[in-house]
Amino acid sequence: MAKNVKTVLIPIVVVVVAAGAAYGAGRWQGRQQTEQVQEELDSTRADLTAQLTATKAKLTKCTQKADQLEARRQLHMAMEALSALNFGFAEQHLNEAANILASSAPEGSDLAKLAEGIKNTRLQPTGQLDQQRQVLRHLTDQFDQLVPSAKK
């Protein structure tokens, strides 16, 4: 009977040991694959974070440039309105240019100072149209010096 027990127990023990070894090997292999996937995920996440940061910076720069171009357009519209002797619209365009420029220019920068200068400019319906036109032309020239063209 002892021989029968051994004949039955030895294959059972071998099967249990083999199953345990297979389970352990599978678990080890699974952990290796999981760690590899986690490393790839971390690497991809870092790359995407860097790309997102760069994209946000580029978007901020583009938005700032669009705001500057809109402010320049408003200055031009103010000059056109002044030429048409429409002082009210000219003032509105000046105020709009000043507000746009002030919101997009870094505080204390030359653009912020220019925005303040534009905001403080008052156009009066007087006979001195050439003098007022010169003031607007001077503001526009200052703007053009501070903000390079899109081609540069």
pLDDT single digits (tens) 44-98: 999 999 999 999 999 999 998 899 999 999 999 999 998 888 888 999 999 999 9
Instruction: For the chain, give the percent of residues with pLDDT over 90.
Output: 36
Average pLDDT, the chain: 87
Alpha-carbon Rg for the chain, nearest whole angstrom, is 37
The whole-number pLDDT of residue 66 equals: 92
The whole-number pLDDT of residue 150 equals: 53
Distance in angstroms (rounded) separating the CA atoms of residues 19 and 1: 27
Query: Can you tell me whether residue 45 is helix, strand or coil?
Result: helix
DSSP symbol at 106: P
Map out the domains of the chain as residue ranges.
2-146
Read off the pTM: 0.67
Topology of domain 2-146, CATH: Four Helix Bundle (Hemerythrin (Met), subunit A) (1.20.120)
Region for residue 108 given its phi and psi (left: phi exceeds 0; alpha: psi -120 to 50; beta: otherwise): left
